[in-house]
Structure 1
Amino acid sequence: MKKNITIILLVLNCLICFSCSKNPEDSTDLVISTGLANLNVTAVIAGITADKPNGDGSGNVNFTINADNATSYKIDFGNGEIKTVQGGSFSYSYSNPGTQTYTVRVFAYNLNKEISTTIPMTLFVASKTIWSDEFNVDGAPNSTYWGYDLGAGGWGNNEEQYYTNRPENVIVKDGVLQIKTIKEAYQGSKYTSARLLTKGKFSFKYGKIEFKAKLPVGGGTWPALWMLGNNISTAGWPACGEMDVMEHVYNQLNKIHGTFHYPDHSGGNAVTASKIVANVTSEFHIYSMDWRADYIKIYVDNEKIIEFPNTSAAPFNQDFFIIINCAIGGNFGGTIASDFTSSTFEIDYVRVYN
């Protein structure tokens, strides 16, 4: 019996020694035994003043997060982005332009424990230019930005022109891009013109695109400012999606069209609307599109032509490239005037904003 008591005492002594030798900085037991509580979140929007109650437009917000005994945090910024952080103070930049109200939700964790809180935040983000061509350098269009579609027929539209990249048909001069449609015999066609595109050079997903342009005169002319999905080479048309920011046919003078083509809604069955605008062939006007995940709006001079309810089922949620062209005749351009000799489509600039 005495031997057994001795063994028990030795075991107890070892356990006591082991407990005493544990690193005092190891607070695991303390964290587990102490409640996860008091989650606090503050958001300070950059540049708030009396005149700018929702910030200076930079989109920058300084967050501070802390909670008793939390080991990690997760923050949902309310714009679809979620990050894991260690707490403390950090900065985040919102990019969606305009004045938006976000619900920011923060989670604090300690092993299998979780608490959360939400804060509302109204923030103004100014639009920023992410790409533009101001056409300020005379000569051929910037080859870093633009390539060309070359050939005849209009790719199924029965148009009369042959598209070239000759300076006779396309040139930058006096601060504008000039696309010239000319009546002339060329490669078996009776007319020539040009079609520029940024495919393989620049494309984007969501944002605002703005063109400032003066449209050509002459019965049969059909200028367009538009976009196609990057996947056209694999998906084909209309599966790739097409967004027409501006189309005009001189045979329907001053009638500006905004149109969306996609499966089951293409060609004559496209989703389209139009607006009458005075003096489109004698004055420059601004044609623009506000493209977002939940809607797409097309404008002329800030007056809305059409609003499209964008959804994940539509093909308008991928990168698109830009196209500028002037056709003549064909399915939409219609009858070419018998006295037509030449006409010029002028574009002052193209700008893309975030």
Structure 2
Amino acid sequence: MKTTLNVIGLLTIFFIALGACKKKDTTPDLVLPTNLQTTISHTSGNASIQASAQNANFYSFTFFENGDSTRIESQQGTASYTFSQSGTYTIKTRAHTTQYDYIEKIDQVIIYVDSAVTGAPTEGYSTPLTYPGLSLVWNDEFDGTTLSSDWTYDIGTGSSGWGNNELQYYTNDNVQVSNGLLQITAKSESFNAQDYTSTRIKTQGLKSWKYGRVDVRAALPYGKGIWPAIWMLGDNITSVGWPACGEIDIMELIGGAGLNDRTVHGTAHW
């Protein structure tokens, strides 16, 4: 019995000694990055992003397009991605301490893909210059480099009545005429207290017709918030207002996920 007690006593002292000699844990506390900032520029479908943050070891960028995603890592905090078509897209930026420890920022970007880059329709329906019982009274093929004098601009947000609670500020700078095409570009930029700009043109006070047929050929961008539209209003809108003047929507594409990106509306209002 004494021998057994001595062994137990030795074991107890041994484990106590080991515990007393254990080294103190000197692993530093994890420090996450702070102050993540991003700058995005884009042209002809290509988006370039620059990120900066304090205490970041590296960055990752995820570009989302049509249900797919592309992830890019960068030590320098830069990345670029080319979108296949016009629309509104999400870019997720992360500033990493480790692969699993990070802060992130989400940006929405409106992309316009130039027709010369994407191969937007060069073939398709062409309007004939004559129809039985009709005579051509006006057309615009946008053959020059500027809009003709048949057009004028709506400038501003339309808050005085002609707008529809849009988030953009309408300017005369977001339009380009070249190679037989009129291009209107919606941009994500701050201007006159709005976060977006676009262009809205009309023939009001310059060209109007009673009865007949209007043919338009257009390639449309899609995505939430883009909402391209071509429509006609009664010539007497300034005197009787809307909807008493009447409205014929030649084309409206609301845009957004699913059906809204695949449905073109033609509507009459009165």
Q: TM-score, normalised by structure 2?
A: 0.48
The structure richer in strand per residue is 1
Q: TM-score, normalised by structure 1?
A: 0.37
